[in-house]
């Protein structure tokens, strides 16, 4: 059997992993530093209020793309009708989500019993439309495996979000700093995607094209919704039953453990999914790539997470202070969860590349 990493695809994978590695080290250090600074500047209640609205942003991403971007990456050939139809569909969904979010902001604030949630959620809802305008460009760059552009864009967008958050925190705007981190990053990312992608949507739309892509995308969309619901239910219940302080502790623990490894998983998916999609007739190569990547993830994740669980109590006390003592046991529990998640990072990408989105949906539902 030939070397699974040889040829054009192998070269693009190596380039992608290199760029992802450089950017992820840069991004994780920057994000951790910003999180620690915000933890010092903001109270647990501020984190909790922001988390009450930000837990819905994952659903916003799921709906604004509707998995049609994944379908563009998976298909062997695409045309202008495919690209423009996906763009206008995503933009339309983003607009509807923004309007629905604005309408639901008041009831959501009443549900939590926190009036400030209303204005925070209005701002987050506008972000749904902003994000939807870049999802097709993101899919096209991923399909081309243009990882240098993707990573430079992500680094710049993260810097913009961090600058927004720190400015708001220093000005005393509390939870708006954390919401501003998300919105600043989303806006900068969309602008940069348009600057880095020469393609522009045309005023064309094909219902037949949408139906053709929707067969594959429907299962991916269902899987994404179920996955996001599973992630969103715990913070929703914590915020409703235990209040913003408890949710703030949970959010910070999740930010320290699960988010960094989720942000490791997503870039690896971006590298390997389009590569797997090009190798659907060479399953031995897909298997070899998958096993090699899983071993690399385990080599990095296992010692980091086990070590973090061991020193969690002292680390939280020294770095965050006594106000955050409740975070330590959560960090220890989530370290185990993070290790399990890290080891199955690429499983979904393999199934999607092979056109088995239905199997992935059923697995996630179970």
pLDDT of residue 262: 61
| Rama region for 251: left / alpha / beta (φ>0; ψ in -120 to 50; rest) | alpha
d(CA 209, CA 106): 38
- pLDDT 10s digits, 144-197: 888 888 888 989 999 999 999 999 999 888 889 989 998 999 999 999 999 999
Cα 40 from Cα 33, distance rounded (Å):
11
What's the rounded Cα separation, in Å, for the pair 160 and 180? 10
Answer yes or no: pTM beyond 0.85: no
Q: What is the Cβ-side half-sphere exposure of residue 208, based on CA atoms within 13 angstroms? A: 1
pLDDT at 261: 62
The answer to whether the beta carbons of residues 119 and 50 sit under 8 Å apart is no
pLDDT score for 1: 41
Mean per-residue pLDDT of the chain: 82
The secondary structure of residue 366, as a DSSP letter, is -
Four-point Cα dihedral 47, 49, 50, 52, nearest 10: 120
From CA 328, how far away is CA 312, in angstroms rounded? 5
What is the C-alpha to C-alpha distance for residues 128 and 98, in angstroms, rounded to an integer?
6
Percent helix, strand, coil in the chain, to 5, is: 85, 0, 15
* Residue 226 and residue 361 in contact, taking contact as beta carbons nearer than 8 Å: yes
Whether the CB-CB separation of 357 and 219 falls below 8 Å is answered with: yes
pLDDT (tens digit per residue) in 112-134? 888 888 999 999 999 999 999 99
Residue 97 to residue 99: CA distance in whole angstroms = 5
Residues 6+ apart with CB under 8 A from 321: 40
- The reported pLDDT for the residue numbered 267 is 67
Overall average pLDDT of the 51-71 stretch:
75
Q: Where are the alpha helices (DSSP H) in the chain?
A: 7-41, 44-54, 57-65, 68-74, 80-112, 116-132, 135-143, 147-170, 175-196, 207-241, 244-278, 283-319, 327-343, 347-353, 357-365
C-alpha distances (whole Å) from 9 to each of 73, 235, 308 are 14, 40, 36
Q: Of 75, 55, 48, 40, which Cα lies nearest the Cα of 274?
A: 75
| Whole-number pLDDT of residue 239 | 80
Relative orientation angle of helices 175-196 and 44-54, to the nearest 10 degrees: 40
The C-alpha R_g of the chain, in whole angstroms, comes to 20
d(CA 131, CA 150): 15
Mean pLDDT of 294-319: 82
| Spatial contact of 271 and 17, defined as CB atoms under 8 Å apart | yes
Residue 259: predicted pLDDT? 63
CA distance 52 to 74: 34
């Amino acid at each position: 059997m030939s070397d699974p990493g040889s040829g054009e695809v192998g070269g693009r994978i190596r380039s992608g992993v290199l760029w992802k590695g450089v950017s992820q080290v840069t991004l994780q250090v920057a994000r951790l530093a910003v999180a620690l600074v915000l933890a010092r500047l903001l109270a647990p209640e501020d984190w909790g209020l922001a988390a009450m609205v930000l837990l819905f942003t994952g659903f916003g991403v799921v709906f604004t793309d509707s998995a049609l971007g994944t379908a563009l990456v998976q298909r062997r050939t695409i045309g202008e009708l495919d690209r423009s139809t996906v763009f206008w569909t995503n933009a339309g969904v983003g607009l509807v989500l923004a309007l629905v979010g604005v309408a639901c902001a008041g009831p959501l604030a009443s549900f939590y019993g926190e009036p400030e949630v209303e204005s925070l959620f209005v701002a987050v809802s506008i972000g749904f439309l902003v994000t939807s305008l870049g999802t097709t460009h993101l899919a096209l760059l991923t399909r081309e495996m243009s990882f240098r552009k993707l990573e430079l864009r992500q680094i710049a967008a993260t810097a913009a979000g961090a600058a927004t958050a720190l400015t708001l925190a220093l000005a005393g705007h509390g939870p708006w700093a954390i919401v501003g981190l998300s919105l600043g990053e989303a806006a900068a990312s969309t602008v940069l995607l348009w600057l880095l992608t020469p393609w522009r949507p045309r005023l064309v739309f094909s219902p037949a094209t949408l139906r053709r892509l929707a067969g594959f995308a429907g299962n991916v969309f269902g899987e994404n919704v179920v996955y996001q619901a599973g992630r969103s239910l715990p913070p929703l219940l914590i915020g409703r039953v235990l209040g913003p302080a408890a949710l703030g502790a949970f959010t910070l623990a999740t930010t320290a453990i699960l988010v960094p490894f989720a942000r490791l998983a997503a870039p690896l998916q971006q590298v390997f999914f389009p590569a797997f999609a090009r190798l659907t007739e060479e399953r031995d190569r897909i298997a070899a790539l998958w096993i090699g990547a899983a071993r690399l993830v385990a080599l990095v994740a296992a010692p980091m997470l086990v070590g973090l669980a061991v020193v969690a109590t002292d680390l939280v006390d020294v770095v965050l202070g006594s106000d955050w003592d409740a975070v330590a046991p959560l960090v220890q529990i989530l370290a185990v969860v993070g290790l399990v998640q890290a080891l199955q990072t690429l499983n979904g990408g393999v199934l999607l590349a092979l056109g088995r989105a239905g199997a992935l949906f059923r697995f996630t539902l179970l």
